[in-house]
Structure 1
Amino acid sequence: MKKLLLAALCTGLLASTAQAEERPDHFEGEAADTLAEAVTQFSETNRQLAQLLAQDELSNTDLGTIHELTYTLENAMAKIDEELDTMAVDLEEVHLGSESVDHERVRTHGTAYLEAAQTLVP
């Protein structure tokens, strides 16, 4: 009987260890469709992450929450990166337009650049 109980206990421990090492289910995170949404999500989610990391101890639940937050942060950063690429193109068009004295090019791309830039830094 003792051997049977010991075998059951060992099997249970091995199963729980294997389960703990499995990756958690993946979480989609919040999508960011616009630069404004991405900046808001980036700011708010970083604030949540900072609050969790400020704790003396992180529970397994906290780690799960952090795991989910990283997906939203990754989505926000991807959108910000995409928008920064567009901003760089617009700024280059402003630069080239100013060299060639192309008023319309400067105004069109300058307006688009500033709109995005002001979303990042009001």
Structure 2
Amino acid sequence: MKNLSLLFAGALLALSLTGAAQAERPDHFRGKPAATLSEAVSNFSEYNQKLAALVAQNDLTPADMVKVHELTYTLENALKKINAELAGLAEALEEVHLASERLDAETLKTQGQKYLQTAGEIIR
């Protein structure tokens, strides 16, 4: 019974220390939002260039590391939006493919336009 009490006390201590550590953690950055695919692609391009410049440096200072940390939030936001849009792009292309097999011109045109609209935002 004593071992069980010690185990329980240890678990409580670990949980309280974890909570304290999280309370002391500084607020994190949110990054630039990417509400549209166009914003996401623009942010992705701009912030990849910033990351490339930092990574190319021979020596990274702590300030450089903070810059990298900050810009990764914007890159993550951009990638999340791009991935969501690319899933829809793949679905639209599959509909175009299937419509071509069925000789369904109406679906081919509507899904083809949807596909090309989204694809155009990526390859602009």
Picking from 78, 90, 98, the partner of 1:96 is 98
Picking from 23, 41, 57, the partner of 1:39 is 41
* Superposition map of 1:70-89 within 5 A: 70-89=72-91
* Superposition map of 1:10-49 within 5 A: 24-49=26-51
Unaligned ranges ≥5, structure 1:
1-21
- The 3-state SS of whatever aligns with 2:119 is helix
Q: TM-score, normalised to structure 1's length?
A: 0.78
Q: TM-score, normalised to structure 2's length?
A: 0.77
In structure 2, give the amino acid aligned to 1:95: H
Q: Percent identity?
A: 53
Which 4+ residue blocks in structure 1 deviate beyond 4 angstroms?
A: none
In structure 1, give the amino acid aligned to 2:60: L
Deviation by residue 1:50-72 (Cα, 9 ceiling, x = unmatched) = 11112121111111110011000
The Cα RMSD (Å) is 1.6
Structure 1 match to 2:65: 63
Structure 2 match to 1:16: none
Task: Provide the rounded CA distance (Å) in 1 between the counterparts of 2:95 and 2:70.
Answer: 39
Unaligned ranges ≥5, structure 2:
1-23
The change in CA–CA distance for 1:72 and 1:27 in structure 2 (over 3 A counts) is same
Between Structure 1 and Structure 2, how many residues are aligned? 102
Task: Provide the rounded CA distance (Å) in 1 between the counterparts of 2:56 and 2:90.
Answer: 36
